[in-house]
């Protein structure tokens, strides 16, 4: 089974994964193209890299990435439960794509992106 969580010893002080995040993992809701879960070595490479590139946030815990660009979904240690979409490798000040209040809002974004990516909205509208 792939490692999907950053180990407690590497997490920002006081950070805890939200219960809703554990529920999502328990139900296997981890792969919604164009988003994919960060796993194992890639999880750690992105975790350490994104925090080095954007230290002003004081703790980003990445968990998913878009396959068609450099957007990374991160739990924000600065505000419990909040999800930030960071355009990794962007110049500082241009990296924040979206700020979502919680995991539920991210799930809604996942579904919308899935529909758009697969052009399901157009397919559904055809007679």
Long-range contacts (CB closer than 8 Å, 24 or more residues apart) made by 96-102: 97/71, 102/18, 102/20
Question: Percent of the chain at pLDDT above 90?
Answer: 83
| pLDDT the model gives residue 10 | 96
The residue ranges of the chain whose pLDDT is under 50 are: none
């Amino acid at each position: 089974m792939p490692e999907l969580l950053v180990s407690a010893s590497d997490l920002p002080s006081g950070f805890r994964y939200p219960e809703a995040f554990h529920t999502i993992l328990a139900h296997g809701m981890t792969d919604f193209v164009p988003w994919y879960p960060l796993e194992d070595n890639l999880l750690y490479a992105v975790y350490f890299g994104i925090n080095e590139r954007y230290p002003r946030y004081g703790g980003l815990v990445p968990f998913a990435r878009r396959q068609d660009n450099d957007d990374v979904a991160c739990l924000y240690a600065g505000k419990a439960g909040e999800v930030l979409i960071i355009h990794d490798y962007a110049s500082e000040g241009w990296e924040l794509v979206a700020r979502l209040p919680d995991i539920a809002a991210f799930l809604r974004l996942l579904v919308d992106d899935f529909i758009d990516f697969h052009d399901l909205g157009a397919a559904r509208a055809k007679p």
